[in-house]
């Protein structure tokens, strides 16, 4: 059975990787680009750009790290199950 962290990570990854999640990432990217290309931005627009750009970068990094974590958790779970079956086979052979 997977632990709570791997279950939660899988859920977050699926949400980010879903159509609405992808659309959100695209919209954040578009907003960041529009603010970056503004000729004479207001102070609030500069702050918004910094926040939006940081959010976009961090979500991208989180998506990559979540995918790695989820894949690693699945591999580890498979290894644990294989190990259990191997141990059970050893016990049968020893009897």
Q: Sign of torsion, CA 71 74 76 82?
A: negative
Task: Give the residue, 74 or 34, on which the prediction is more confident.
Answer: 34
Q: What is the mean pLDDT of the chain?
A: 86
Q: How many structural domains does the chain have?
A: 1
Q: What is the pLDDT of residue 94?
A: 55
Give the pLDDT band (50/70/90) at residue 63.
very high
Mean pLDDT of 42-59: 96
Higher pLDDT, 82 or 25: 25
pLDDT for res 86: 63
Distance CA 75, CA 59 (A): 24
Percent of the chain with pLDDT over 70: 78
- Complete DSSP assignment for 16-60: HHSHHHHHHHHHHHHHHHHHHT-SS--HHHHHHHHHHHHHHHHHH
Residue range(s) defining the domain that contains residue 48: 4-94
């Amino acid at each position: 059975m997977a632990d709570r962290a791997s279950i939660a990570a899988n859920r977050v990854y699926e949400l980010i990787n879903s159509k609405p999640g992808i659309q959100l990432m695209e919209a954040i990217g578009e907003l960041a680009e529009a603010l970056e290309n503004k000729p004479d931005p207001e102070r609030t627009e500069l702050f918004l750009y910094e926040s939006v750009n940081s959010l976009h970068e961090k979500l991208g990094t989180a998506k990559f790290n979540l995918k790695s974590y989820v894949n690693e958790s699945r591999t580890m779970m498979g290894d644990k199950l294989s190990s259990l079956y191997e141990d059970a086979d050893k016990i049968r052979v020893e009897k």
